[in-house]
Amino acid sequence: MFAREIRDPISALAGVKAGSVVEKALAHVGVATIGSLLCRYPRDWEDRTRRAPLKDFRNGRVCSIVRILAHDWFYAGKTRTLKIFVEDDTARACLVCYNRPFIKNQLVVGNDYLIYGDFEFKYGEIQSSSFDFEPADTGAGRIAPGQILPGQILPGQILPGQILTGQILPIYPLTKDLRMAKARGLVKQALDAYLSVIEDEIPQSIRERYHLLTKARALKAIHFPESMKELEKAKKTIIYEELFYLEVMVGKRALAKRSVMRRTPVDTDSCMTRQKTPDLQNALLDRLPFELTEGQREAVADINKDMDSPYPMARLLQGDVGSGKTLVAFLAALKAVEKGGQAAIMAPTELLARQHAENAAKLLEPLGVNVAFLTGNIKSKGRKQLLQNLASGAIDVAIGTHALFSHDVYYRDLRLVVIDEQHRFGVMQRQAILAKGDAPDLLMMSATPIPRTLAITVFGDLDVSVIKGLPPGRQPIVTHLARESNEGKVYEFVRAQLKAGAQAYFVYPLIEEGELDLKDAVSMEERLATEVFPEYTIALAHSKMDEGEKRLTMDAFRRGGIRILVATSVVEVGVDVPNATCMVIEHAERFGLSALHQLRGRVGRGTAQSYCFLVYSDKYTEDAKARLMVMLEHSDGFVIAEEDLKLRGPGQISGVEQSGYIRLGLADPVEHAAILEKARADAFAMLEADPGLLASDHRRVAEVLSRAPPFNDVGV
């Protein structure tokens, strides 16, 4: 059995009831099965095997035996907080126990404890507020070091037999309702129960060549390594495996491109029986109230040529925000439909997917093309019918979020995959949607440029079209910087625009009031509605809102019923409301350059003059100031991306590092370029020598691809 084939639900583990909050918390991060639990790797490890005295606190975490000197209390705000003074052989320090007054009874003055934690120099002393501990005197009946008791490791709480030191502990990304102790305990249980049945996924000859671990051993060691050395080996094994399969997929596309008779010839009969207008693209162009721009026309010509060729297309369409990429995607989709196939258009957010679906309904359905909208939120009966229609081919164009590649979604003949805002998706998600068709054409769209060298390694072979320029009649957006204290003037300016019939966005860095002294969307909506713009309709849009409610709000904003939209960066990608002419970004100093550029791109989408106000508070950093200046001076997204790169410095490739271009489980094609190269060479050599994967050593690869394709069912 391959790890991903372990489809038993998480609730099969002790301590997780079906329907419990833990099960839901895991499902929320895409972990529904024990197999996916095992493949959700720690984000870090804590080496508690080596002692690190207090005086060395700057070198990393402290792991030392300390004596408790005294307890003290102080007030942090209104709460009485415990402070404990400790010392080891090298230094004195203090432990600050926020919200943990009970520690008073656990750390007894005069006794010795093993402390593990992050320390820093603050208020003239070495301090930690994040630490674990246990009694230092290892009494009888204690469990041997290294032994792990599932579910018993609770920070700051001593339980019988609890072991917090003397071993390397995994640190998992947590979510609300999923505590570290629980995460560790569940993985440990899963390993104990399933390790013996887990099969290797890479050919034995390769494993031996690089001295990699078996899959079972690598999984055990990635979660609970016995030594840092073993952990390194496990990482190397898993990274190689991920990159190997990535390159197997890339290689299959590249080879398919070379073999002419790859694709089943177009079935012209079925085209006829569908009784569609044969030239759907021109039918759409005829209906548009405007002409394509030069850039759009060229892009469509490139795409048509690719899609008419017998080789699968792999094309990246770059064009600044507002350049009209969506329309190009629709024309490509029509091409796929003309050929009797289906197209899937994937967007990173439900908001954007819905907007595309609505536009498609308006533009494509009158041509007799059936469009469907699919997201994770569409449940039960409607969904079942929709999936049937996709499988039967009754739906021509499916538009949605990552739900488009859920395991239960089948396409009759997926010919084209369009990935909008492509930098928001990871490699695995892209591979997962491609796996739904037989080497479908791929069109990726983005306003964020990607370095070509990286593109080629990750995508195999990639062509690029660039839409230069914006549709005619667009005026450059006028950008103003404004101090927070001048916000009143900004509001008055916006009022004049509203009076003239336009609409406005107000964007904030936070949804709700938080600890930081920042304006937030919820309170500002209230304030703008009651104090500033009582005469206009105002609504709120943010990611924590119910999707249905958000949809109604966006619909009303698009139709003009709502004049002011108060939002967080949910409106950052793709939202298209041409009547909106004002974008007010408050605390602009808190946003990154690409977000600012995307946000500004929400206005200036019609022919009216548009404005962007970057309102900043006095507490900005030098970096923030530099970003705001770039926004003031430049409007071209490509230039802004370059400036972004300069500001961030080398090592942080803009639009790559922070984005999803290269997100795999553990591997990072940039950081692990050397392994990637080997994996690529190995995968390509194998495919060239044995395309059918028939050799005994390769059959394992064929089995993995058919039984547990590595890029299917990718959670987000």
Binding site for ligand ADP (CB under 6 A): 290, 292-293, 296, 319, 321-327, 471, 574, 576, 578, 605
Residue 293 near which of ligand ADP, Mg ion, none (CB within 5-8 Å, type-dependent): ligand ADP
Q: Exposed e or buried b for every residue in 137-149, given b needs 16+ CB within 10 A? A: eeeeeeeeeeebb
Amino acid at 130: S
Q: Give the Cα separation of 289 and 266 in Å (integer).
A: 32
Q: Which is nearer to ligand ADP, 248 or 292 (CB)?
A: 292
Backbone region of residue 368 per phi and psi (left: phi > 0; alpha: psi in -120 to 50; beta: other values): left
Minimum distance from CB of 378 to Mg ion (Å)? 22
Minimum distance from CB of 334 to ligand ADP (Å)? 15
102: tokens are 């009970």
Specify whether the CB–CB gap between 594 and 611 falls below 8 A: no
Q: Give the Cα separation of 456 and 669 in Å (integer).
A: 11
How far is residue 309 from each of residues 260, 441, 711, 715, measured CA to CA in Å? 9, 10, 27, 33
* Residues whose CB falls within 8 Å of the CB of residue 669, separated by 6 or more in sequence, listed in order: 243, 246, 427, 454, 457, 458, 662, 676
Q: Give the Cα separation of 466 and 448 in Å (integer).
A: 11
Q: Which is nearer to ligand ADP, 470 or 630 (CB)?
A: 470
Residue 339 near which of ligand ADP, Mg ion, none (CB within 5-8 Å, type-dependent): none
Q: Which is nearer to Mg ion, 165 or 318 (CB)?
A: 318
Q: Which is nearer to ligand ADP, 225 or 606 (CB)?
A: 606
Minimum distance from CB of 345 to ligand ADP (Å)? 12
Minimum distance from CB of 432 to ligand ADP (Å)? 23
Residue 33 near which of ligand ADP, Mg ion, none (CB within 5-8 Å, type-dependent): none
Q: Which is nearer to ligand ADP, 184 or 605 (CB)?
A: 605
Minimum distance from CB of 356 to ligand ADP (Å)? 9
Tokens 């990286």 label which residue? 454
Q: Which is nearer to ligand ADP, 212 or 292 (CB)?
A: 292
Residue 319 near which of Mg ion, ligand ADP, none (CB within 5-8 Å, type-dependent): ligand ADP
Q: Give the Cα separation of 323 and 218 in Å (integer).
A: 47
Residue 327 near which of Mg ion, ligand ADP, none (CB within 5-8 Å, type-dependent): ligand ADP
415: tokens are 């010919």
Minimum distance from CB of 616 to ligand ADP (Å)? 25
Q: Give the Cα separation of 127 and 83 in Å (integer).
A: 10
Residue 614 near which of Mg ion, ligand ADP, none (CB within 5-8 Å, type-dependent): none
231: tokens are 């952990």
Residue 402 near which of Mg ion, ligand ADP, none (CB within 5-8 Å, type-dependent): none
Specify whether the CB–CB gap between 8 and 33 falls below 8 A: yes
Helix axes 622-633, 593-600, angle to 10 degrees: 30
How far is residue 264 from each of residues 242, 277, 510, measured CA to CA in Å? 30, 22, 51
Q: Which is nearer to ligand ADP, 163 or 467 (CB)?
A: 467
Residue 321 near which of ligand ADP, Mg ion, none (CB within 5-8 Å, type-dependent): ligand ADP
The region of 107-115, 171-179, 279-287, 568-576 touching Mg ion under the rule CB under 5 A is 568-576
Tokens 């495919």 label which residue? 687
Minimum distance from CB of 276 to Mg ion (Å)? 26
279: tokens are 């030239």
State the sign of the Cα–Cα–Cα–Cα dihedral 209, 210, 216, 217: positive
Q: Which is nearer to ligand ADP, 327 or 395 (CB)?
A: 327
Strand order in the sheet with 397-400: 371-374, 397-400, 342-346, 414-419, 441-446, 314-319, 463-467
Question: SS3 for 343?
Answer: strand
Minimum distance from CB of 579 to ligand ADP (Å)? 10
The region of 97-105, 108-116, 309-317, 569-577 touching Mg ion under the rule CB under 5 A is 569-577
Residue 399 near which of ligand ADP, Mg ion, none (CB within 5-8 Å, type-dependent): none
Minimum distance from CB of 331 to ligand ADP (Å)? 11
Residue nearest to ligand ADP (CB): 324
How big is the chain, counted in residues?
A: 716
Q: Give the Cα separation of 320 and 448 in Å (integer).
A: 8
Q: Which is nearer to Mg ion, 107 or 612 (CB)?
A: 612
How far is residue 685 from each of residues 244, 388, 453, 700, measured CA to CA in Å? 11, 40, 21, 16
**Which ranges of 419-499 would DSSP assign to H, the alpha helix?**
427-434, 452-459, 487-499
Amino acid at 152: Q
Residue 323 near which of Mg ion, ligand ADP, none (CB within 5-8 Å, type-dependent): ligand ADP
Specify whether the CB–CB gap between 715 and 30 falls below 8 A: yes
Residue 290 near which of Mg ion, ligand ADP, none (CB within 5-8 Å, type-dependent): ligand ADP
Minimum distance from CB of 326 to ligand ADP (Å)? 3
Minimum distance from CB of 370 to ligand ADP (Å)? 22
Minimum distance from CB of 499 to Mg ion (Å)? 30
Minimum distance from CB of 562 to Mg ion (Å)? 22
Q: Which is nearer to ligand ADP, 33 or 446 (CB)?
A: 446
The region of 73-81, 86-94, 273-281, 570-578 touching Mg ion under the rule CB under 5 A is 570-578
Residue 35 near which of ligand ADP, Mg ion, none (CB within 5-8 Å, type-dependent): none
Residue 170 near which of ligand ADP, Mg ion, none (CB within 5-8 Å, type-dependent): none
Residue nearest to Mg ion (CB): 574
Backbone region of residue 659 per phi and psi (left: phi > 0; alpha: psi in -120 to 50; beta: other values): beta
- DSSP annotation of 255 reads H
Q: Which is nearer to Mg ion, 187 or 442 (CB)?
A: 442
Rounded to 10 degrees, what is the CA torsion of 354, 359, 361, 366?
180
Minimum distance from CB of 94 to Mg ion (Å)? 53
Residue 295 near which of Mg ion, ligand ADP, none (CB within 5-8 Å, type-dependent): none
Question: SS3 for 274?
Answer: coil
Q: Give the Cα separation of 360 and 376 in Å (integer).
A: 19
The region of 39-47, 54-62, 390-398, 566-574 touching Mg ion under the rule CB under 5 A is 566-574
Q: Which is nearer to Mg ion, 446 or 479 (CB)?
A: 446
Q: Which is nearer to Mg ion, 106 or 635 (CB)?
A: 635
The region of 1-9, 298-306, 571-579, 638-646 touching Mg ion under the rule CB under 5 A is 571-579
Residue 576 near which of Mg ion, ligand ADP, none (CB within 5-8 Å, type-dependent): ligand ADP
The region of 265-273, 573-581, 668-676, 704-712 touching Mg ion under the rule CB under 5 A is 573-581
Query: Residue 574 interacts with Mg ion (CB under 5 A)?
Result: yes
Minimum distance from CB of 30 to ligand ADP (Å)? 27
Amino acid at 471: P
Q: Which is nearer to ligand ADP, 84 or 504 (CB)?
A: 504
Query: Residue 426 interacts with Mg ion (CB under 5 A)?
Result: no
How far is residue 349 from each of residues 493, 543, 547, 574, 698, measured CA to CA in Å? 31, 10, 11, 9, 39
Q: Which is nearer to ligand ADP, 325 or 519 (CB)?
A: 325
State the sign of the Cα–Cα–Cα–Cα dihedral 522, 523, 525, 526: positive
Q: Which is nearer to ligand ADP, 36 or 326 (CB)?
A: 326
Minimum distance from CB of 434 to Mg ion (Å)? 21
Q: What residues make contact with Mg ion under the rule CB under 5 A?
A: 574
